Amino acid sequence: MTVAAPVDVRLILEHQDPAGAYPASPSFSQYPHAWLRDGSFVAYAMDRAGLHESAARFHTWVARTVLRYEDHVETSITASHRGEAPEEFDFLPARFGVDGSWRRDGWPNFQLDGYGHWLWSLAEHRRLAPGREDTHALDRAAALVGRYLVAFWHEPCYDAWEEYRSQLHTATLASLHAGIATLQDAASVPGAADAVAAIHATITNECVVAGRFVKHIGNPAVDASLLWLATPFGVLPEHDARVRATVEEIERTLVVDGGVTRYAADTFYGGGAWILLTAWLGWYHARAGDRSRARACLAWIERQRDADGALPEQVPTSRTNERFLRHWTTRWGASAKPLLWSHAMALVLRLELAGD
């Protein structure tokens, strides 16, 4: 099988801002900004590929950015202790300008998962590249984010697809579990261990219907982001019966023409197949021991590259709704390409399969 790792690494490095931010898709009208969700997985991929300097720069940028808003975050945390919720646009944003600016442009910003992803990615960075940079700012920023998540993890918020504001999403809870767990022994984050236990109980008691996990509490459909529960967050192991049943349902209902769509009712760009989610399914199978299915996912991804090796966010499938594809293409242009998160997940899957 062709390995195109250099393209993924080259595009990520080429587009990383010198100060450390990874813009989601620099040439796409809506994605020049740096999402914590995308960036955290890009940094993880770079660490897996041994490019620790790139990941270190990202983490240092996040720490500096978050600490810039420290007073603001402290005010929100204090309000939560009084039982008050911050105003909608006072919650930390899902994305920042690459210069660390908080863009007050009405984006559906209240998405907690990215902050969980960042804590998880930072812990992975420290595991994979120990003792590399001054940890003071990183520790302070991580503790601040940890206390913020302990205060707000149970608030309904937008999901990883920036939708469904009023729900509690299983994949978001998994992300918060993973992030807060990295700090559960930190004296600077009181209540972390209790929060981790409470999130685990919420996931296993309220996010399971008929023996498998659901998109959000009250919605029995599956969403491909449910893969995160096991891979990589390990809230439950890959072989857990509920996880397996969830993956089977994802494969039955969301895999179309070999690629993985987000959820059955998705209309964004007609509901196409996502590169990063197909990589995720492959990553799950590789970790669960089914390497031939993992290789099939990688082969599908390789077929989606353009002549320069660039990967988009999503590609149309035989089930794509043309009306919605037209709507979004007219509004925003063709699907974002290159999407750095797509390249990162392709890289992770390829590294996971290295040696095959």
Our answer to whether residue 313 is catalytic in this structure is yes
Cα end-to-end span (Å), the chain: 9
Our answer to whether residue 113 is catalytic in this structure is no
Please name the amino acid found at residue 26: P
161 is an interface residue for ligand BGC by CB under 6 A: yes
Minimum separation from the CB atom of position 37 to ligand BGC (A): 5
Footprint of ligand BGC on 30-49 (CB under 6 A): 31, 35, 37-38
- Encode 102-129: b = buried (16+ Cβ within 10 Å), e = exposed: beeeebbbbbbbbbbbbbbbbbbbbeeb
If the CB atoms of residues 146 and 312 are measured against ligand BGC, the closer one turns out to be 312
The catalytic position among 124, 223, 313, 352 is 313
Q: Are residues 267 and 321 in contact, defined by beta-carbon separation less than 8 angstroms?
A: yes
Question: Of the candidates 6, 140, 129, which has an alpha carbon nearest to the alpha carbon of residue 68?
Answer: 140
Q: Which of 341, 345, 346, 347 binds ligand BGC (CB under 6 A)?
A: 341
Minimum separation from the CB atom of position 340 to ligand BGC (A): 8
If the CB atoms of residues 8 and 147 are measured against ligand BGC, the closer one turns out to be 8
If the CB atoms of residues 47 and 223 are measured against ligand BGC, the closer one turns out to be 223
Distance from C-alpha of 274 to C-alpha of 289, rounded to nearest angstrom: 23
DSSP-derived letter for residue 34 is E
| The token pair that represents 318 in the structure block | 């035989």
Q: Are residues 199 and 153 in contact, defined by beta-carbon separation less than 8 angstroms?
A: yes
Our answer to whether residue 257 is catalytic in this structure is no
If the CB atoms of residues 276 and 288 are measured against ligand BGC, the closer one turns out to be 276
Q: Is 273 helix (H, G, I), strand (E, B) or coil?
A: strand
263 is an interface residue for ligand BGC by CB under 6 A: no
162 is an interface residue for ligand BGC by CB under 6 A: yes
Minimum separation from the CB atom of position 177 to ligand BGC (A): 19
160 is an interface residue for ligand BGC by CB under 6 A: yes
Judged by CB under 6 A, which stretch of 60-68, 157-165, 240-248, 326-334 contacts ligand BGC? 157-165
Minimum separation from the CB atom of position 195 to ligand BGC (A): 24
Burial class (CB in 10 A: 0-12, 13-18, 19+), 93: buried
Preceding amide of 338 cis, omega within 30: yes
Nearest residue to ligand BGC by CB is 24
Task: Please list the active-site residues.
Answer: 159, 162, 313
Chain positions contacting ligand BGC, by CB under 6 A: 24, 31, 35, 37-38, 160-162, 339, 341
